Structure 1
């Protein structure tokens, strides 16, 4: 089965998607010239593709162009749904995936530095009894442009790695001091 059948699109729709993937700012007139359709027809197709969730806009930072750190963390957890709900609130987590295999959850974490990611892992993941196993990989570069949303909320807790938005509630002052100072 081809994408055309699964997604209920034709070759013109595919060409429009390809053009916009290469240049999201391409005008309807430029697209209409490339696909041999009128500008209003292209506009209607773009609206249709957006309604089918085949065209989407992502606002964020280009990971491979900035000095920010990104980690892929594979987790083996007891209750995926419970952590899914908790992680939804976390500003460090770029995305969370339910997966198959040895691990059943994958999260992507973004932070200004590796130390912050390590503190997040230690304070939020390793202490969570619902998490059975953790495997961390730091992402060094990406082949294609990879846009990730930035949350500036993480600056509110001074590299604490957890607390303000955590599903478990904020850390108390003593816990925060121990986490930041190691004493």
Structure 2
């Protein structure tokens, strides 16, 4: 089955999506020229594609353009739902994915340095009896533009520490050492 059928789109829609993936700031007029349609027709198609969730706005940082460390941490857990809920409000976790296989959760973590990620893994993940195994991979590059969300909840963490039993509280001074290392 082709995407056209699965997503109920045509070749023009695919071209519009491709143009916007390459440069989300492309104007409707510029897109109209490239797909040989009127600007109002392109605008209507973009609205339709947004309603179908085929075009969304991803605001964040382009991974390759910043000096941040990005890790994907795979977890083998006894209770996916419980761990999933725990990470819903964790200031370290950018995203969490449920997966099939031996490793049933994957976390995405963004931090200023490797030491901060290692501290999270050691103090929060390794101490949790529901987590059976951990595999950490640091992402060093991406073939295409990859936008990662930036969650500023970590700034609240700096003031209050972690509220989870997994790692216990961390002081402002300890966090400063981690963030500046």
- TM-score, length-normalised on structure 2? 0.87
Unaligned runs of 5+ in 2: 176-181
Cross-structure match for 1:94: 94
Unaligned runs of 5+ in 1: none
Cα distance change, pair 159–68 in 1 and its aligned pair in 2 (3 A): farther
Query: 3-state SS of the aligned residue for 2:109?
Result: strand
* 1:111 CA drift (Å): 0.7
Query: 3-state SS of the aligned residue for 2:138?
Result: strand
Query: 3-state SS of the aligned residue for 1:110?
Result: strand
Query: 3-state SS of the aligned residue for 2:122?
Result: helix
How many residues align? The count is: 174
Looking at structure 2, the residues matched to 91 and 27 of structure 1 have their Cα atoms a distance apart, in angstroms, of 35
Query: 3-state SS of the aligned residue for 1:21?
Result: helix
Runs of at least 4 residues of structure 1 off by over 6 A? none
Is residue 110 of structure 2 the alignment partner of residue 113 of structure 1? no
Looking at structure 1, the residues matched to 157 and 96 of structure 2 have their Cα atoms a distance apart, in angstroms, of 22
Deviations 1:43-66 (A, max 9, x none): 110001001110011111111111
Q: How does 1:18-57 map to 2 (within 5 A)?
A: 18-57=18-57
- TM-score, length-normalised on structure 1? 0.87
Looking at structure 2, the residues matched to 154 and 88 of structure 1 have their Cα atoms a distance apart, in angstroms, of 13
Looking at structure 1, the residues matched to 23 and 130 of structure 2 have their Cα atoms a distance apart, in angstroms, of 43
Query: How much is the aligned-residue C-alpha RMSD, in angstroms?
Result: 2.4
